[in-house]
Chain A
């Protein structure tokens, strides 16, 4: 036993991920790698038409195939309930298909090959309907309706007639959702303006491309309890929603999350394949496993919202922003995901990234026959930031200010409450702006590049800046934004951290363990994390909104502090010392001032376990962070803290081919405080490259409702040789409510890249492009159109 132990801290250190050794050795079992004794294999028959009535389905030949245990259509599950936020989506389609991915029938068989063969034997007769593939067309008078009437047979069931939802009631127009927000008086704002711009920005389809494709295993036990091995990001909310869809008691549903091969928001919704697999398990009486092919993943998983955004904004001669008016049209696709609520986030950027006195914001999300959009890292913020930050540059130029000074003039400060009601208790925006600008040499390069523009030469350099605001302390969109923790101490000095928070690769289990170790003076090796079983873990609203470190972190710290208090009190009693003068360090109890070791933690815990008052299971529930629900006017302080960042992007444009290369990204992120530096860097770097893909290479090409590039060959993810040099700085604003001062950061790094790249291309070429992605063809056409105009 050492004589003394000095104070040490894990905060800010480079902590390796707890799950990394298993993953690096190929030992981690993802959903694809799990098998359950007696399992069957599920496969789904999808529509071959974009929009059509289903005239008939003949499954007789499939049912007769040897090895087939169940073939189901909507007729076999008349009790199925619709999924999704608007309840406009039956897992198995009843009367019509509304997009090419639509689920018509499903098979459970003894092998995947047999299930596939059975699908080929199912005959479907369709009657084609006119296809809506442009959201503008969906709004035209007389446009065909996507949900004109209740969805067929299921809706006729008496017990469901009272139920709410578009699947039961139909929809007399193609408008899935609208959002209207107003602050001040934009007309008054415009009157005060010396400069006004109005432009329309086009944001495209991209998709998550999780490396692990979607999958699920469902089985019922003999008492009718349902067990699902699921990749969900929101296990507790899904328990409730599954219960509703399946007309089951939620208490009979258990969800186990195997390690997840990427999430990025894609697993926030329930998708049809999940209840369908449950239907198959029920129909066959056997466990059923269903795993997508990559092509299916491209066709039948969600996308980011394609948005047409018209922005009108103004400022005074001195650079003060005056107003913004925004009209956006979102292509919702055929059904409504949680992702349709992205305007919640978009309007925050529009109203509150910079100080704007007057704002008007209208969004329509409209139905089409395209793939339906879901939630995706950044949740609308990439789209909003793309427009807002281009206009910031344009206005700066018009009033003769540099882009940095113009932004600094309008930037938010700590303490500010915006007209939308967001309260920035900590705010590092100005420091982010100046740090990123200085580190990249932004101002000098801006001038130098602009001076090179008119000169001959094929390759042009450009530099662009953009900032972002995003929730960083949870988001109060559900009745609670809470997370529970159970902390269990064994009699050897180790702890088991049982948390409601889900790990999707982002490193939450590691950072939560780190926070616990920090409180209890333990090495990382002393913690085990349990985080993937709804029967065991306490409640949580899931991994989304960059909330896990903040919310689950505060919850874990709460439990650890209870344990700490208990341990120190017991140690004080045992050693006849004042507990207030004791500390936990290196698995020992020490005197705080001198560091003198009093006893080992293990010894104390053993003694406590053998006493009658051990109670070494601590619980904590961070139920109500100090945030508020928005009111019906979308005003309110929805997050307990807000994250800020500025990214400066440097590009090289090949003016002969239109190829844009990302040379360097300099980022400054207000993260509150650095907890795990290694994990934090990884999140930022990964987000930057995801943003790069959004800006330059990725596009899900959808023509008349048909996805033309459902594979990695034609859907171009960024590869290792293409990544830019990265210089990432962290701004520590020590948020008062954050765990050890930290704020959420998961989504932030992906948000600014496209906007900053647009500004950089303009700096390089003088040409501003308002549509993504910046493919060689698009850039080439824009440069040549500009040249023609100039000539």
Chain B
């Protein structure tokens, strides 16, 4: 199994890791960097629980090779602790009752962060479209949409 050393910025911190070339970014974030806020939900890009932001673009980290992070900026849910908009979204999720089992929540928050970056004042319909790739089994999405709307209005 061939290894490769990569250098990238993880939540603002310069990071250097050696990873097997076939390892996904999700595995690297969870098992090598030890940040477990990014969740494994399906491993095939269908559920959005592993959403991260790479160079300003949200994507499913399960579909990305770890080595593709080389030289790039990676933000995970843990990185939002230093991001006022991210914190605002998290707070809105709490206040709107958008969290039940919470397993989809970090991915939803990351996707919401991306959405508000691209469209700071989305309509409800735009929010629904914006989180279409993120599955939630508990909430029926209503309160997640409420939360993102509230965060966009603050």
Contacts and interface: CB of A to CB of B under 8 A. Distances in A.
A181 to B, nearest CB: 33
Nearest to A688: B140
Interface in B7-53: 30, 35-44, 46-47, 49
A690 interface: yes
Q: Determine the interface band of chain B, counting residues with CB < 8 A from chain A.
A: 35 or more
A27 B37 contact: yes
A211 B43 contact: no
A294 B42 contact: yes
Given A211-B101, A682-B143, A25 B137 contact: no
Nearest to A291: B40
A210 B44 CA distance: 16
A27 B100 CA distance: 15
A678 B78 CA distance: 26
Given A210-B137, A689-B140, A690-B137, A713 B100 contact: no
A688 B140 CA distance: 7
A23 B139 contact: no
A25 B77 contact: yes
Contacts of B38: 26
A23 B103 CA distance: 8
Contacts of B99: 17, 19-20, 23-24
Interface in B117-139: 125, 127-129, 131-139
Nearest to A18: B94
B90 interface: yes
Contact of A26 (B78, B94, B134): B78
A197 interface: no
Q: Determine the interface band of chain A, counting residues with CB < 8 A from chain B.
A: 35 or more
A211 B49 contact: yes
A73 B47 CA distance: 34
Contacts of B104: 211
Interface in A196-217: 208-213
A685 B139 contact: yes
B95 interface: yes
Interface stretch (A152-160, A716-724, A779-787): A716-724
B109 interface: yes
B105 interface: yes
B80 interface: yes
B103 A711 contact: no
Nearest to A681: B97
A686 B131 contact: no
B39 to A, nearest CB: 7
Interface stretch (A366-374, A504-512, A549-557): A504-512
Interface in B44-65: 44, 46-47, 49
A37 to B, nearest CB: 14
B44 A294 contact: yes
B136 A723 contact: no
Given A29-B36, A30-B103, A21 B94 contact: yes
Which interface residue of A20, A24, A33, A293 has the most chain B CB atoms within 10 A? Answer: A24
A642 B113 CA distance: 42
A213 to B, nearest CB: 7
A32 B90 contact: no
B140 A505 contact: no
Contact of B138 (A505, A688, A711, A719): A505
A697 to B, nearest CB: 12
Contacts of A262: 101, 103, 137-138
Given A30-B39, A211-B137, A713-B44, 6 more contacts: A17-B94, A211-B103, A212-B103, A505-B102, A685-B139, A720-B128
List the 10 closest A-B pairs by CB distance, nearest first. A26-B37, A505-B101, A23-B102, A26-B77, A689-B140, A261-B103, A712-B46, A33-B36, A685-B140, A211-B103
